[in-house]
Amino acid sequence: MIRFKKLALGLLASLVLAFGAQAATDGISWDKAPNKTNDLAALQNGAKLFVNYCLNCHSAAFMRYNRLKDIGLTEQQIKDNLLFTDAKVGDTMKAAIDPKQAKEWFGGTPPDLTVIARSRSGAQGTGADYLYTYLRSYYRDDSKATGWNNLAFPNVAMPNVLWELQGAREPQFEMHSSHGHEVPVFKGWKQVSAGTMAPLQYDQSIADLVAYLQWMGEPAQNTRVRIGAWVLLFLGLLTFVAWRLNAAFWKDVK
């Protein structure tokens, strides 16, 4: 009986944590991420953005630099453009930051991003949709230690590392009546200061970064889909042949 109570309490705690994590990502509706996993130029640009802006704090410990050959980069291009530490081409993508310092600065160790696009899917869409929305939803908030907040993940500990590209924006709200109360409803963004990229160019760059994160979560996914299509075609043809052979074998018996 005691073991059953402990199991029930553990299950209840897990559900509370799961619902709490989901609620943290339900700030606004998710935008649909463009599908660029077959676009080599987009994947290469996404890899460059990832190494320059994400890999400083976040690791991708299940991805090796030399796997980037699969998106059209040569070993020399990887060395010249994507290796900024003493890492070798055959090494995994480890963050430059010290985990202890990261925990002191951000309150926790930044998560590994190898499969982040596969792990963050929810009721509102895929993990790519979430990341595409999240990386475009930062706004200035002086009440936070980092000076930034995020509508897709309220009270997020991560600062806006891409702010120089995007510039600073403010969310715009309209008050709507709901069950006798006035509630703010998100209506859009107001550009406060310009970044080095125009808004459309920034959105395209984020789409490239998200595409790379999708690809990194399963580098063989496009090959798997292509092979799967041929397998289904073969099985369909085999089924047709078997059906006609069966009809030929049994026509005299019937």
Q: Does 17 fall in a domain?
A: no
Number of domains in the chain: 1
CA distances from 147 to 42, 80, 156, 165 (A): 30, 34, 11, 17
Q: What pLDDT sits at residue 185?
A: 85
Q: What pLDDT sits at residue 254?
A: 61
Q: Does 189 fall in a domain?
A: yes
Range of the domain at 112: 22-244
Q: Does 77 fall in a domain?
A: yes
- Mean pLDDT, rounded, of the chain: 86
Segment 147-197, tens digit of pLDDT: 999 999 999 989 999 999 999 999 998 888 877 788 888 889 999 999 999
Q: Does 5 fall in a domain?
A: no
Q: Does 13 fall in a domain?
A: no
Query: What CATH number is associated with residue 207?
Result: 1.10.760.10
Neighbours of 204 (CB within 10 A): 16
Neighbours of 40 (CB within 10 A): 14
Q: Does 251 fall in a domain?
A: no
Segment 31-48, tens digit of pLDDT: 999 999 999 999 999 999
CA distance 88 to 208: 25
